[in-house]
């Protein structure tokens, strides 16, 4: 008799294997890119947008008559044509501005014409009269009673139940934590550190700018082709805003040329749809220029944070106060949930018995803040982890030892009052300290340089509603190959590869047999909430595994009936059904479509195999509005640690990262090489925000909307060595124990570098970016350069 253990050895272990990426078009069926206008025919129209030149003003009048009369112009639209609100968590903005403009670059009117040149000319001919209003350009001031209101109708907006606006103010969400008694705890502290940090806006700068093509057919049905992380969310939000059925709104989303969060939700895509509704039967293409990309699509929110934290003489953390003013910009329809995530993560990955947090999303007259890799956690940790380092030094404890003492461990009570699930954070600390050779102090490479090391921890949960769903469909083909349909998006992170691995391992077929159906199309693809929050490996992965199990069960039931055996005596290995009882085998080929004959030619059983699976978390609970305490605030946390070694040039202030080490507990690495690539890429992107990136505003006007003045890291800036370390403490509800790790490597980088700079020169430079100029001037001011 065959034994299951022996047969299983014939199937390669696909989980934890670094199989080749599923990037080729041969493996992603139908994934042709729309790279030119030929796909949409000679009737394609080009859209351009008339934008506000003011940060805050009333719209007194709009004259579109000259633009409409221009030859070649097919449509001119304004906010009067589209009165519906749009927004993910808080419906607080129009597709085109109506009564007032709230930031420089806000869309006021749109044009569709036979060429971009004609459209640009028509935009110039639109005349708008404004009445200027006082802008709000600082979130701390914006939260005060003295600030002018940016959204007087805040109290009338539709909002989800876990977001708490304060009508009559500029605060669109106020999330509170009240844990223990911080006021009484301060007197017990042997050391207290208190600081204020300003974290600037940054831009995602994807290689591919935002682009969308929309068309309304003669029956009134709309198709949108967009570079999108959120095709299903776009379908839902745009349809609701326009007052049409979701079944009449179709979104097709091919491969995305870089997202990092800026292509989540809806930013410019609704503009193309709105204009196309006025050019029925003709598609309309809207492509943002690189300059527009910097300030008219989502930006990462700015943050002003005030942190006070104290510990006892042994180094045990006792109390924290954390007040955060998030610069949400002119619309906070997405940013309100960043504020919420900042609130329920406000303690950092530490067990602190007494915590007071006020996390406030504040309207300002800056560009709209949206999702970016890390979803508020890089900004939050930037200051908090510097305070942790300072506190350790105040009581003369090594920063690594201090973090080992206070970090969250399995069973710790987190800031929202629930218990921490199993976590490998202590192991992450030990591994990065070992990798960076924390105890070894190497000399600088020259007398004019100083060398230092820094460490920072992080935690991040998938920031999302309590019930976002995933689904998957598996269809088997005549030759036994498998077509896997998912609604999540490939944005370079390798999710199609990982889904194929999970499907193959669960079903029992070779990885090479899996094909991903694409592009993602809301008319045919199974539902997926959004490709955000580092949730696909966990959530969509569960749906894929459930679909594969469903298909597998159908196959085994058919074969068991045909062979007169029990399904539990059968298995699928390398694409063949095997019996451990009778030792019979049969290939999946043909039987998964045509079925099998019954004994004695008495008929047939089976038929085309289609597996279906879905997943939705059902256990996330609400939190008390006044205290932020509750049974389970989030589905899980991914934790990690990062350390860097760097040199500071005393003559120029330039920072050179010599080495980095990063360890993250991702539950189970489905594809270790892809996971390590995420760790490396996340570090470099985090390093870029630490050393170079900042959107510079003056009077609400962006001063550096180009790569000439907005510096990002390149391969030349990356350290020669990045140690990517994967820790695996399984997630109880994760597929194969996995949870996400896509965003997390960017979270601790700013404070790790800041702490290393301090270790090198004994100076806190303050808020990022830590440019050479800023570091040099800080040394001059501190008298660190001598006479």
* Of 559, 521, 536, 491, the residue nearest 734 (C-alpha): 536
Q: Helices 377-394 and 749-761 sit at what angle, rounded to 10 degrees?
A: 30
The distance from CA 630 to its chain's CA centroid, rounded to whole angstroms, is 25
> Dihedral through CA 541, CA 545, CA 551, CA 553, nearest 10?
-170
Residue 231's alpha-carbon distances to 254, 269, 663, 746, in angstroms, are 10, 10, 33, 25
3-state secondary structure of 124: helix
Beta strands in 82-217 (DSSP E): 85-86, 93-94, 100-101, 107-113, 127-132, 171-179, 191-199, 211-216
Q: Is 765 within 8 Å of 775 (Cβ atoms)? A: yes
Q: Is 371 within 8 Å of 264 (Cβ atoms)? A: yes
Sort strands 514-517 and 28-29 into parallel, antiparallel or unpaired.
parallel
Q: Is 164 within 8 Å of 171 (Cβ atoms)? A: no
Q: How far apart are CA 214 and CA 518, in angstroms?
A: 19
Q: How far apart are CA 221 and CA 240, in angstroms?
A: 14
* Of 35, 31, 14, 15, the residue nearest 23 (C-alpha): 31
Record the tokens describing residue 757, joined without a space: 């700079």
DSSP tag of 542 = H
Record the tokens describing residue 688, joined without a space: 């870029």
% helix, strand, coil for the chain, step of 5: 30, 25, 45
Q: How far apart are CA 507 and CA 513, in angstroms?
A: 11
Q: How far apart are CA 298 and CA 279, in angstroms?
A: 27
Question: Strand pairing partners for 360?
Answer: 174, 325
Please name the residues in contact with 81: beta carbons below 8 A apart, sequence gap of 6 or more: 96, 274, 278
Q: Which residue has the tokens 């597998």?
A: 552
Q: How far apart are CA 168 and CA 754, in angstroms?
A: 39
DSSP tag of 154 = G
3-state secondary structure of 329: strand
The sign of the torsion formed by the CA atoms of 9, 12, 13, 16 equals positive
Q: What are phi and psi of 687, to 5 degrees?
A: -60, -40
Record the tokens describing residue 436, joined without a space: 């960076």
3-state secondary structure of 354: strand
Q: How far apart are CA 147 and CA 460, in angstroms?
A: 33
Which helix (H) or strand (E) covers residue 60, if one does? strand 57-63
Please name the residues in contact with 491: beta carbons below 8 A apart, sequence gap of 6 or more: 229, 255, 256, 258, 259, 263, 531
Residues in the chain: 787
Other beta carbons within 10 angstroms of residue 785's beta carbon come to 13
Measured in Å, how far apart are the chain's first and last C-alpha atoms?
87
Q: How far apart are CA 732 and CA 538, in angstroms?
A: 11
Record the tokens describing residue 19, joined without a space: 């199989």
Q: Is 503 within 8 Å of 485 (Cβ atoms)? A: no
| Strand order from edge to edge, sheet including 127-132 | 100-101, 57-63, 127-132
Q: Give catalytic residues, as residue numbers.
A: 743
Beta strands in 227-267 (DSSP E): 249-253
Other beta carbons within 10 angstroms of residue 396's beta carbon come to 9
């Amino acid at each position: 008799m065959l034994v299951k253990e022996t047969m299983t050895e014939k199937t390669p272990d696909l989980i934890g294997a670094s199989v080749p990426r599923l990037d080729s078009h041969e493996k992603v069926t139908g994934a042709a890119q729309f790279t030119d206008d030929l796909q949409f025919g000679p009737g394609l129209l080009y859209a351009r947008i008339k934008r506000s030149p003011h940060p805050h003003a009333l719209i007194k009048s709009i004259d579109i008559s000259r633009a409409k009369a221009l030859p070649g112009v097919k449509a001119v639209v304004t906010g009067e044509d589209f009165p519906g609100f749009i927004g993910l968590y808080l419906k607080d903005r129009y597709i085109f501005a109506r009564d007032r403009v709230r930031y420089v670059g806000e869309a006021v009117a749109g044009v569709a014409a036979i060429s971009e040149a004609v459209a640009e000319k028509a935009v110039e001919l639109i005349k708008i009269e404004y009445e200027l209003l006082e802008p709000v350009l600082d979130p701390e001031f914006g939260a005060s009673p003295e600030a002018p209101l940016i959204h007087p109708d805040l109290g009338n907006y539709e909002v989800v139940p876990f977001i708490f606006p304060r009508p009559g103010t500029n605060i669109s969400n106020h999330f509170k934590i009240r844990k223990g008694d911080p006021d009484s705890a301060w007197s017990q502290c042997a050391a207290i550190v208190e600081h204020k940090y300003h974290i600037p806006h940054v831009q995602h700068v994807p290689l591919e700018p935002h682009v969308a093509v929309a068309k309304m057919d003669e029956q009134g049905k709309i198709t949108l082709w967009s570079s999108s992380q959120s095709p299903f969310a776009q379908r839902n939000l745009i349809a609701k805003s326009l007052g049409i059925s979701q079944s009449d709104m179709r979104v097709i989303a091919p491969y995305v040329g870089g997202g990092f969060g800026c292509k989540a939700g809806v930013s410019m895509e609704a503009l193309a749809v709105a204009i196309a509704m006025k050019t029925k039967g003709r598609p309309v293409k809207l492509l943002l220029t690189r300059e527009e990309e910097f300030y008219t699509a989502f930006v990462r929110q700015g943050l002003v944070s005030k942190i006070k934290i104290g510990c006892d003489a042994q180094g045990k953390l006792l109390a924290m106060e954390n007040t955060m003013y998030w610069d949400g910009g002119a619309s906070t329809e997405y940013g309100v949930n960043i504020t919420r995530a900042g609130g329920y993560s406000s303690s950092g990955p530490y067990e602190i018995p007494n915590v007071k947090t006020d996390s406030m999303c504040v309207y300002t007259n800056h560009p709209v803040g949206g999702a970016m890799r890390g979803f508020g956690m890089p900004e939050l940790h930037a200051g908090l982890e510097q305070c942790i380092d300072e506190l350790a030094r105040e009581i003369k404890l090594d920063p690594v030892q201090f973090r080992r003492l206070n970090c969250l461990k399995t069973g710790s009570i987190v800031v929202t009052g629930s218990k921490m699930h199993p976590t490998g954070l202590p192991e992450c600390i030990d591994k990065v300290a070992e990798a960076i050779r924390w105890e070894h102090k190497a000399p600088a490479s020259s007398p004019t340089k100083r060398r230092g090391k820094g460490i920072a921890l992080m935690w991040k949960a998938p920031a999302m509603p309590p019930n976002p769903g995933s689904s998957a469909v598996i269809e088997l083909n005549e030759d036994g190959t498998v077509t896997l349909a998912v609604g999540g998006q490939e944005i370079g992170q390798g999710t199609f590869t990982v889904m194929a691995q999970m499907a193959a391992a669960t079903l029992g077929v070779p990885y090479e047999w899996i094909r991903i159906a694409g592009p993602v199309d809301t008319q045919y693809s199974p539902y997926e909430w959004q490709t955000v929050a580092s949730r696909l490996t966990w959530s969509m992965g569960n749906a894929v595994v459930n679909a594969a199990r469903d298909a597998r069960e159908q196959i085994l039931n058919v074969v068991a009936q045909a062979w007169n055996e029990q399904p539990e005596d059968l298995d699928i290995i390398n694409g063949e059904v095997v019996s451990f009882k009778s030792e019979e085998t049969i290939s999946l080929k043909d039987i998964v479509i045509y079925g099998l004959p019954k004994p004695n030619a008495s008929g047939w059983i089976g038929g085309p195999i289609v597996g279906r699976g879905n997943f939705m978390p059902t256990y996330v609970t609400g939190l008390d509005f006044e205290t932020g305490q509750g049974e389970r605030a989030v589905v899980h946390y991914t934790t990690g640690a990062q350390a860097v070694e760097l040199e500071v040039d005393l003559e120029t202030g330039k920072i050179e990262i010599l080495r980095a080490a990063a360890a993250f507990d991702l539950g189970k690495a489905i594809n270790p090489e892809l996971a390590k690539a995420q760790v490396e890429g996340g570090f470099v992107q985090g390093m870029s925000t630490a050393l170079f990136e900042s959107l510079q505003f003056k009077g609400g006007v962006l001063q550096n909307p180009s790569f000439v003045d907005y510096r990002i890291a390149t391969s030349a800036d990356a350290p020669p060595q990045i140690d990517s370390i994967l820790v695996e403490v399984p997630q109880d509800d994760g597929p194969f124990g996995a949870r996400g790790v896509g965003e997390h490597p960017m979270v601790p980088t700013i404070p790790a570098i800041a702490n290393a700079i301090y270790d090198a020169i004994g100076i806190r430079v303050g808020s990022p970016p830590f440019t050479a100029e800023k570091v040099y001037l800080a040394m001059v001011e501190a008298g660190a350069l001598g006479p």
